[in-house]
Amino acid sequence: MSRGLHLPMAFEVDLLGLQLQGQPVLKTLYTALPRQRWTAIVGPNGAGKSTLLRAMASLLPAQGRIDFLDRPLGDWGPKARARSLSWLGQNESGGDDLSAYEVVMLGRLPHQAWLSPPSAEDHEAVAQAMRQTQCWDWRERRLQRLSGGERQRVLLARALAVQAEVLLMDEPLAHLDPPHQADWLDCVRHLTAQGRTVISVLHELNIALQADELVVMAAGQVHHQGAPADPATHRALQAVFDDRLQILQVQGQWLALPFSPAPAAPPPAAGDLAPVLPLRRPA
């Protein structure tokens, strides 16, 4: 997506770089992520995907400019930003000694006055989020008693309970089995149909290829941005994954299938070599 387009954007990111512990993780990059759509950020390990998402969540300092909903990210107050921007990170703890219901209620804190008890609206938002992620049935169980997949669904419900306009999700499908990955996909489509924006970092390329927009990263930069069905997007995916992906369409859905490079042929045995004839001078 070029700088010249004037579309309503959830984020516009124009960075000069970002370092962690003195090591450059992000280089010069630009991306503009549209509102009311689902954008998936993909790329090989170490591409800087999660770092970019954390910078957009104001969790990491970056050199350059990040605009959120047409305002500089730094101009947002903490509470206003927390109401408008929801975050689900990798391997997050939600308070192991809390019940699942209490963990999801933490997503309502930006809407509550200091030390005020949850309102009826808060309880309704929590119940709706937990039913949407199918974790209502164990709302009274402690987080530490849940499996990895159950825990991830509770944390996703916490992010949904914020009812933010924009949701940032870093590896939201971790620990989810295929049926619940499909449920997550339905949830994302429901959110965008409501006019909300979802931006996710994904390793599951076959899920990412169903997004509205794909950002392909490599070596701390945005290598390509475009529609998942665009042949240029397919070429970019293949390039950043060392040309070890086959991208094809099956029943109207794009799939990325990894493959191993063909093993090098062993050198022929001496007896298998064709005889080398001496060169003869032309007659």
| pLDDT score recorded for residue 70 | 94
DSSP H or E segment with residue 186: helix 178-193
Q: Please tell me whether residues 130 and 211 are part of one structural domain.
A: no
Task: Decide: 149 and 175 in contact? Cβ < 8 Å.
Answer: yes
pLDDT of residue 6: 60
Which pLDDT value is given to residue 68? 97
C-alpha dihedral, 16 to 18 to 23 to 28, nearest 10°:
-30
275 in a domain, yes or no?
A: no
Same-domain pairing of 226 and 211: yes
145 SS3 class: helix
On whether both 179 and 220 belong to a single domain, the answer is yes
Shared domain check, 194 and 155: no
State residue 283's pLDDT score: 52
> How many CB atoms within 10 Å of residue 121?
11
Q: Give me the pLDDT at residue 115, please.
A: 82
Do residues 14 and 50 both lie within one domain?
A: yes
Determine, yes or no, domain membership for 41: yes
Question: Is residue 122 included in any domain, yes or no?
Answer: yes
**For residue 184, what are the domain limits?**
1-69+165-259
Q: What angle do CA 230, 6, 236 make, to 5 degrees?
A: 25
pTM: 0.87
Q: Is residue 80 part of a domain?
A: no
Tokens of 122: 């808060």
Residues 180, 128: one domain? no
The predicted structure's pLDDT at residue 270: 54
Q: Is residue 279 part of a domain?
A: no
Q: How far apart are CA 107 and CA 13, in angstroms?
A: 26
87 lies in some domain: no
Instruction: Please write the tens of the pLDDT for every residue from 88-112.
Output: 998 776 677 899 999 999 999 999 9
CATH number at residue 24: 3.40.50.300
Contact yes or no for 61/67 (Cβ under 8 A): no
Give yes or no: residues 48 and 6 share one domain: yes
Cβ neighbors of 278 (< 8 A, separation 6 or more) are none
* Inside any domain, residue 281: no
Tens digit of each residue's pLDDT (9 = 90 or more) over 208-264: 999 999 999 999 999 999 999 999 999 999 999 999 999 999 999 999 999 887 666
Asked if residue 264 belongs to a domain, the reply is no
d(CA 201, CA 168): 8
Rounded to 10 deg, the angle between the 148-161 and 178-193 helix axes is 10
173 and 249 part of one domain: yes
The residue out of 147, 163, 179 marking a domain boundary is 163
pLDDT value of position 1 = 47
**Regions of the chain short of the pLDDT cut 50:** 1-5, 276-279
Residues 180 and 49 in one domain: yes
The span from the CA of 198 to the CA of 53, in Å, is 12
For residue 2, the model assigns a pLDDT of: 41
Computed over every residue of the chain, the mean pLDDT equals 90
Shared-domain flag, residues 118 and 252: no
Q: Are residues 156 and 170 in the same domain?
A: no
Structure confidence at residue 113 (pLDDT): 87
Q: How many domains does the chain have?
A: 2
- What tokens were used for 252? 């109207």
The verdict on 184 and 63 lying in the same domain is yes
Q: What pLDDT, on the 0 to 100 scale, is given for residue 4? A: 42
Domain boundary among 104, 129, 163: 163
Give the single-character DSSP code of 253. E
Residue 95: what pLDDT? 75
